[in-house]
């Protein structure tokens, strides 16, 4: 019985060694194959491919407020994005303007976005009840004056779309 | 074998020696030759270090489906030169509460150890700084001096990362030295000499990796694994495991002192590869196949120094291939691999080889 166990452990010693070597060889085969097929390069050379570079839909470059062709956006100025922003990079300045029935109604004056403080967590985009915010794909944000990083997202003269519920 | 004489460097070196003898006294000749060879080796050292770092980055990039350095010069060839300039002009930061003398001494010990090992390498016929009759033993001895520098660096830095890295490195080098020694001893038994030039001469009719049957191949594999561990390279790079120890024993070093450690690491890789090429793959001997006279004759026309570097860079490529394929070992796995697998295998192997040689069963 003892002898059998000894034999077993000896054969396990050698089979461990050979299976270890085989698994090492399996790994080396993968990297070796990549080495001899240089066309498999997956990275892109950035400044050269700038003209053809296309970012993915999911890429979080900056926060934008999409406007349609009539310069209409969907922001009601409710301030939920401002409240949800963890580092206070959104400031909303609202105004009260009488509507068609003469009642005063809240509209945004300025939706201010501080790109320098944004961590692209996406909470503002996610929590916006009227889907007024989105992620843009622009990522070359380097500027010489940091004041340029403070942006007003609503375009001048833009209005809220009629169908958006307040 | 006429072409082997064609590329014999001993004529050139002896004529330089005669020329110097005609100008000055023998003592001065020895001194001048020492300085000349020292300068040559330092130059070779620097160029080789720069090239190996570049090669490493390119090989790693291609294996990971990247492009690698490609901005400085064509194909990024001057990248490492730019890195060197950056390292040279960096500030040398003195560490508070460190042992300043040992701290500054450590990089020199490491680099001197690898420079000394280089002296015994035969680059081509007659192109060897010094041909010891115990060449293999000498290289083993001086290359293991480097661990003193590593331990000093870890101790003198007064940093926990450094000391842990140095201790790991010490444990690793001390244990893997055994397997390296035993696998080299295998070929010493085969060739019956420790002199590197004699070992190469004994491979004129076939490299030991072919002549020595399976035991020589096992010794070669054990040597590759153990020497990869000895030079602290991946997958055995836990002395400088960046995810746990920032940079291990050279965490606190900056500028040129860091560059010394970095350079010594790559030169050690070259030395190990050159030793493997010399001992197992015939050194500067050309590749011959049995009785293919024409083929053998063409191979003879490739200069021995080209053969030497071809073989050495083949081994270097293998070591790089290991590094960029295998994940890092834990310290207990590392010691298990050495003491439970490599050492018994090489011990049994060397007894087997001694038996083979006694019975005259090798070519």
For chain A, which residues score pLDDT lower than 70?
1-2, 164-166
CB atoms within 10 A of CB A150: 14
Interface touch B62/A45, C-beta < 8 Å: no
**Residues, chain A:** 166
Q: What residues of chain A lie within 8 A of the CB of B64, using their CB?
A: 34
CB contact under 8 A, B321 and A32: yes
Looking at residue A144, its pLDDT comes to: 93
CB contact under 8 A, B65 and A43: yes
Query: What count of Cα atoms within 13 Å lies in the side-chain half-sphere of residue B188?
Result: 19
Cβ neighbors of B151 (< 8 A, separation 6 or more) are B166, B167, B169, B170, B249
**Which residues touch B316 (CB under 8 Å, ≥6 apart)?**
B52, B55, B269, B270, B273
Which residues of chain B neighbour A45 with C-beta distances below 8 Å?
Answer: 67, 70
Look up residue B271 and give its two tokens.
């030395």
pLDDT band at B363 (very low <50, low <70, confident <90, very high): low
A43 in reach of chain B (CB within 8 A)? yes
Please tell me the least confidently modeled range out of A34-43, B1-10, B142-151, B295-304: B1-10
Residues 6 or more apart whose CB falls under 8 angstroms from that of A14 comprise none
H or E segment and range at residue A84: helix A80-84
**B218 phi and psi angles, rounded to 5 deg:** -60, -45
Block residue for tokens 């407020």: A65
How far apart (Å, rounded) are the C-alpha atoms in residues B12 and B346? 41
Determine, for residues B63 and A34 on separate chains, whether the beta-carbon distance falls below 8 Å. yes
- Going by the DSSP 8-state scheme, the letter that residue A143 receives in this structure is -
**CA B155 vs CA A98, B104, B121, B148, B165: distances in Å:** 77, 12, 32, 10, 10
Give the one of A17, A35, A43 whose C-beta lies nearest to B341's C-beta: A17
pLDDT of residue B3: 45
Architecture of A62-160 per CATH? 2-Layer Sandwich (3.30)
Cβ partners under 8 Å of residue B42, min gap 6: B115
Please report whether residue B40 resides in a domain: no
Q: Is the CB of residue B193 less than 8 Å from the CB of residue B199?
A: yes
Q: How many CB pairs under 8 A join A and B?
A: 35
Residues with Cβ < 8 Å from B113, sequence gap 6 or more?
A: B142, B143, B144, B145, B146, B148, B149, B264
Return the SS3 of A134: strand
Nearest residue in chain B measured CA to CA from A29? B325
Query: Which residues, including other chains, have CB under 8 Å from residue B186's CB and lie 6 or more apart?
Result: B212, B215, B216, B219, B346, B349, B350, B353
DSSP character at residue B127: B
- Tell me how far apart the alpha carbons of residues A70 and A158 are, in angstroms, rounded to a whole number: 8
Chain A hits for B316, Cβ within 8 Å? none
B10 occurs within a structural domain: no
How many whole angstroms from its chain centre is CA A1? 64
Query: How many domains, in total, are found in chain B?
Result: 1
Report the distance separating Cα B277 and Cα B309, nearest Å. 9
Query: What domain range includes position B134?
Result: 98-359
Q: Residue B21: pLDDT above 90?
A: no
Question: What is d(CA A62, CA B37) in angstroms, rounded to the nearest whole number?
Answer: 61
Residue B248 and residue B219: Cα distance in Å, rounded?
Answer: 30
What length is written for chain B? 363
Residues A64 and A133: their CA atoms lie apart, in Å, by 6
Dihedral angle at the C-alpha atoms of B47, B48, B49, B53, nearest 10 degrees? 110
Closest-approach residue (CA) in chain B for A23: B326
- Residue-wise pLDDT for A123-159, tens only, equals 999 998 888 898 988 888 889 998 888 988 888 888 8
pLDDT of B263 higher than 50: yes
Best mutation site among A22, A23, A35 for testing chain B: the one with the most B CBs within 10 Å? A35
B153 contacts B251 by C-beta, under 8 angstroms: no
Please spell the DSSP secondary structure of B91-103, one letter per residue. Answer: --PPPTTS-HHHH
- Measured between CB atoms, which of A31, A35, A41 is closest to B67? A41
Nearest CB partner across the interface for B65, out of A24, A40, A45: A40
Q: In this predicted structure, what is the pLDDT of residue B2?
A: 40
Smallest CA–CA separation between B328 and chain A, in Å? Answer: 13
Residue B41 belongs to a domain:
no
d(CA B358, CA A98): 109
* Per-residue pLDDT tens digits for B114-141: 888 888 888 877 777 777 888 888 888 8
Q: How confident is the model at residue B73 (pLDDT cuts 50, 70, 90)?
A: confident
- For residues B238 and B236, what is the distance between their CA atoms, to the nearest angstrom? 6
To the nearest whole Å, the CA of B137 is away from the closest chain A CA by 29
**The pLDDT of residue A109:** 87
- A47 close to B (CB below 8 A): no
Question: CA B58, B64, B68, B74 torsion: positive or negative?
Answer: positive
Whether B23 is in a domain gets the answer no
Nearest residue to B173 (alpha-carbon basis) of B128, B227, B215: B227
Alpha carbon A155 to chain centroid, angstroms: 23
End-to-end CA distance of chain B: 20
pLDDT for B1: 39
| Residues of chain B with a CB closer than 8 angstroms to some CB in chain A | 59, 62-67, 70, 321-322, 324-326, 341, 345
Contact B67 A32 (CB under 8 A): no
Which residue from B minimizes the CA distance to A38?
Answer: B62
- Is B124 domain-assigned? yes
- Alpha-carbon Rg of chain B, whole angstroms? 21
CB-based contact B59:B324 (threshold 8 Å)? yes
Range list of H helices, chain B? 2-6, 10-21, 26-63, 79-88, 100-119, 135-143, 146-156, 160-191, 196-201, 208-211, 213-230, 242-245, 255-279, 293-300, 304-323, 331-336, 343-359
* B287 within domain boundaries: yes
Residue B7, pLDDT score = 67
Contact A42 B341 (CB under 8 A): no
Q: How far apart are CA B185 and CA A160, in angstroms?
A: 85
Residue B73 lies in a domain: no
Highest mean pLDDT among B10-14, B77-81, B231-235, B290-294: B77-81
Nearest CB among B65, B67, B341 relative to A34 is that of: B65
Cα A112 to its chain centre, rounded Å, is 19
């Amino acid at each position: 019985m003892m002898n059998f166990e000894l034999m077993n452990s000896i054969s396990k010693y050698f089979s461990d060694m050979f299976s270890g070597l085989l698994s090492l060889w399996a790994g080396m085969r993968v990297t070796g194959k990549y080495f001899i097929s240089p066309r498999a390069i997956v990275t892109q050379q950035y400044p050269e491919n700038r003209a053809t570079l296309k970012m993915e839909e999911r890429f979080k470059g900056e926060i934008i407020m999409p406007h349609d062709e009539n310069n209409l956006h969907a922001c009601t100025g409710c301030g939920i994005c401002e409240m949800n922003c963890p580092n206070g990079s959104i400031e909303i300045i609202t105004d009260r303007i009488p509507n068609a029935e003469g009642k005063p109604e809240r509209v945004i004056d300025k939706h201010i976005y501080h790109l320098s403080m944004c961590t692209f967590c996406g909470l503002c985009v996610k929590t916006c009840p009227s889907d007024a915010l989105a992620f843009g794909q622009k990522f070359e944000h380097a500027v010489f004056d940091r004041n340029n990083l403070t942006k007003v997202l609503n375009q001048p003269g833009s209005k809220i779309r009629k169908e958006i519920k307040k | 074998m006429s072409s082997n004489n064609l590329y014999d460097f001993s004529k050139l070196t002896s004529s330089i020696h005669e020329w110097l003898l005609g100008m000055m006294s023998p003592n001065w000749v020895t001194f001048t030759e020492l300085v000349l060879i020292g300068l040559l080796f330092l130059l070779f050292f620097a160029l080789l270090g720069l090239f190996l770092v570049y090669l490493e980055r390119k090989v790693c990039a291609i294996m990971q489906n990247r492009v690698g350095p490609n901005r400085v010069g064509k194909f990024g060839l001057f990248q490492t030169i730019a890195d060197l300039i950056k390292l040279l002009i960096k500030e040398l930061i003195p560490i508070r509460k460190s042992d300043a003398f040992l701290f500054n001494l450590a990089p020199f010990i490491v680099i001197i150890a690898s420079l000394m090992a280089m002296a015994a390498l035969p680059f081509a016929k007659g192109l060897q700084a010094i041909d010891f009759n115990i060449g293999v033993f000498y290289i083993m001895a001086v290359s293991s001096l480097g661990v003193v520098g590593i331990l000093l660096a870890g101790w003198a830095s007064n940093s926990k990362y450094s000391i842990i890295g140095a201790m790991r490195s010490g444990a690793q080098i001390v244990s893997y030295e055994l397997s390296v020694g035993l696998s080299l001893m295998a070929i010493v038994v085969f060739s019956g000499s420790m002199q590197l030039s004699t070992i190469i001469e004994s491979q004129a009719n076939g490299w030991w990796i072919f002549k020595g049957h399976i035991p020589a191949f096992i010794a070669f594999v054990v040597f590759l694994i153990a020497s990869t561990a000895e030079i602290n390279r991946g997958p055995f790079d836990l002395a400088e495991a960046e995810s746990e120890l920032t940079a291990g024993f050279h965490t606190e070093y900056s500028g040129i002192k860091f560059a010394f450690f970095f350079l010594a690491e790559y030169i050690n890789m070259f030395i190990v590869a050159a030793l493997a090429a010399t001992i197992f793959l015939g050194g500067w001997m050309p590749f011959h196949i049995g009785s293919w006279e024409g083929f053998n004759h063409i191979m003879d026309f490739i200069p021995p120094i080209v053969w030497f570097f071809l073989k050495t860079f083949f081994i270097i490529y293998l070591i790089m291939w290991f590094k960029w394929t295998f994940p890092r070992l834990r310290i207990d796995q590392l010691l298990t691999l050495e003491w439970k697998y490599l050492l018994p295998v090489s011990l049994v192997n060397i007894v087997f080889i001694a038996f083979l040689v006694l019975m005259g069963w090798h070519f």
